[in-house]
């Protein structure tokens, strides 16, 4: 299988980047997308050229490290998967594949396809945890949580922080990410004690990091590898109003 990669190359944060073409032969359709990039990098090493920098860790769709914009979609042409779950069988022999880094003012490019997503970490630092000491793992049923509530919290907690929501959003809004983190904690009894402070501070951080507003295009929930529903954003808004009223 042969494809033409058009890949964003950028030496460093302050360098000017550009799209470069790479014709790559010898791929097969069972390769994951990242393996195809590995293959290309091996060819570049043999030619004594600089390899393409891209991020990955688990390569099984759970860590949220990999993430690039492929042919106009976050994580490639399919809905709700990570880049490592994308395989070359999704492309045809001879296809041109455009690969770009996540684009957002809050995600500056570090090198090639790698962006700095620490803005998301700083949102988490504002309250996506509970301050109480929990000790060792307690008996699971010592705090009774209705199944429905546990499921909702788990659905939100599934967020792996890959940043596809920000990348695909025309406003670079981090609302889906922040909402998932807030709703995860605020819907559980352990998170209740600090619920209002959490909403206010995490949403404030989201704002000062330079992310845009949510205008409900719905793109984020289509690209989210964990299928986190956009309803979470409406729920976060409700929590924010409640936190202001009860302050």
- Out of 65, 106, 178, 186, name the contact with another protein by CB under 8 A: 106
CA distance 56 to 61: 10
Angle made by CA atoms 127, 124, 236, in degrees to the nearest 5: 70
Three-state DSSP class for residue 2 = coil
- Out of 69, 91, 177, 185, name the contact with another protein by CB under 8 A: 69
- To another protein, the closest distance from the beta carbon of 115 in angstroms equals 11
CA distance 31 to 54: 17
Determine, following the binding rule CB under 8 A, whether residue 204 of this chain makes contact with another protein.
yes
- Give how many residues touch another protein by CB under 8 A: 47
CA distance 217 to 199: 22
CA distance 144 to 161: 28
Backbone angles phi, psi at 43, to 5 degrees: -65, -40
Closest CA to 33 of 72, 80, 85, 79: 85
- Name the residue nearer to another protein (CB basis): 59 or 90: 90
CB half-sphere exposure, 100, CA atoms < 13 A: 17
- Out of 32, 172, 186, 205, name the contact with another protein by CB under 8 A: 172
Determine, following the binding rule CB under 8 A, whether residue 56 of this chain makes contact with another protein.
no
Stretch that binds another protein, among 38-46, 53-61, 120-128, 200-208 (CB under 8 A): 200-208
- To another protein, the closest distance from the beta carbon of 69 in angstroms equals 6
Stretch 125-164: interaction string toward another protein, x if CB under 8 A:
----------------------------------------
Instruction: List residues binding another protein (CB under 8 A).
Output: 6, 8, 19, 69, 71-73, 77, 79, 98, 100, 103-106, 168-173, 203-204, 207, 210-219, 222-223, 230-235, 237-241
């Amino acid at each position: 299988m042969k494809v033409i990669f058009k890949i964003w190359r950028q030496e460093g944060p302050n360098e000017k980047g550009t799209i470069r073409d790479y014709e790559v032969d010898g791929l097969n359709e069972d390769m994951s997308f990242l393996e195809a990039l590995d293959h290309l990098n091996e060819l570049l090493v043999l030619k004594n050229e600089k390899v393409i920098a891209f991020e990955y860790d688990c390569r099984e769709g759970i860590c949220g490290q990999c993430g690039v914009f492929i042919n106009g979609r976050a994580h490639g042409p399919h809905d709700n998967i990570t880049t490592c779950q994308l395989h070359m069988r999704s492309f045809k022999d001879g296809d041109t594949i455009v690969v770009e880094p996540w684009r957002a003012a809050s995600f500056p490019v570090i090198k090639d396809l790698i962006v700095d997503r620490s803005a998301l970490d700083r949102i988490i630092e504002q309250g996506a945890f509970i301050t109480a000491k929990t000790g060792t793992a307690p008996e699971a049923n010592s705090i009774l949580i209705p199944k429905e509530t546990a499921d909702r919290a788990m659905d939100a907690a599934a967020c792996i922080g890959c940043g596809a929501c920000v990348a695909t959003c025309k406003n670079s809004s981090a609302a889906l990410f922040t909402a998932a983190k807030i709703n995860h904690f605020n819907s559980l009894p352990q998170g209740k004690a600090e619920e209002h402070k959490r909403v206010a501070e995490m949403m404030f951080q989201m704002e000062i990091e330079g992310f845009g507003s949510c205008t409900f295009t719905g793109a984020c929930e289509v690209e989210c590898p964990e299928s986190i529903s956009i309803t979470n954003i409406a729920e976060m808004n409700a929590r924010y109003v409640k936190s202001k009223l009860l302050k």
